[in-house]
Structure 1
């Protein structure tokens, strides 16, 4: 079984994230980049399926040069090889352009299953897996909290507000997983050393047929018109209870439009 796991490098959520004044895109250079947390669950699920059914796991990532660090970490977890789509023309791509670029790369790879995390911590759109599936003309099975390979097909439990739905499809297919599906493994020292020797293919837009005018900030369907830094936190309001504390509290809540 050939499995491709799509991984995104995102700014560390523990750091202060900012937009660049130059083009109003996320300033990735000023903060440490890490694997998107939900993508680690996707990596783990890919590894478990490969271990159970045989095969290999390829990590696919689209991003600047430093995204190679996240690919190497995924390889140290146990993945077999990596593919890195890196090109200055991709800067500023929105979800629509990202799905187009990833689909073009996937069309050059052999796979039975493509796995995504359900969303990224820097955008939280949750739409890229579905868009990629549509572009590839493949079934999409989203928000999976359990995945089973059944003969030549796949069955998942799709997480819902009321429990779960059971969704089945043939292979190849595209799946996105939620954090309840498993517990990602930690890279071992042996895995870290082995990752240094695993192959990572670097591709540019032209090599996979990506048209430059369909990606990047200029082709984005959604843009940031303006932004401002969050104002510093103001000192809290102290209410002194002199027999009318309840009234004062109600007035404050009403002024803040809480009631």
Structure 2
């Protein structure tokens, strides 16, 4: 049966990590529910804790479509460290850089209560470690350093994974658009000055070029405004001042465009 996956900010039951003692139909039903829920939500793994069960059970869907059932799992050997970027159904749509063991050796029991051992590395090792966090009533937030934890909290606050930094940088990608707008504006002014040295035939060409230049500035300004708003959402701590700055820069650019339009109106039209 497909179960509802517990998601942030709902806190699962305070009972967790209970070892399975009875390998009976109740356990088999729980494993079936985990498999059904994994399939229904297109996931790679689930811990029983994520569907509200206190038992230490993990089910992982392997690359070949088969399921790995881990009952009462415990890591008994660990080696090396890696910093993968992880996502989890508990924080849907969000990701964070964690710290994990590169290789692990796992002791667990199968559904027949037989003790088994598993050596894992890479993605499988990371998945097992992530699900073991849930077995003990936690999630990957506890594996984050202070900066990454603050970043995840910002993502949770704003409900987006687009935030990449809590600081406020001094330069932005959108500045390149401003440089392009400035270049077109200056070029248009310089071209306008040549009006006094051109023939009537060339004046017609200049008029068309000026019209295209002003249209380009307008389009680039609109693109700048919307992209700047999008880029600003990536930085929590300076979002309010950025919005004011973006509006101010857009207003000044449009005012310059109006001046350029007036100059063209009186000199060319």
In the superposition, the TM-score normalised over structure 1's length comes to 0.21
Higher relative contact order (CA 8 A, sep 6+): 1
TM-score normalised to the size of structure 2? 0.20
Larger Rg: 2
Which has a greater percent of helix? 2
Report the structure, 1 or 2, having the larger strand content.
1
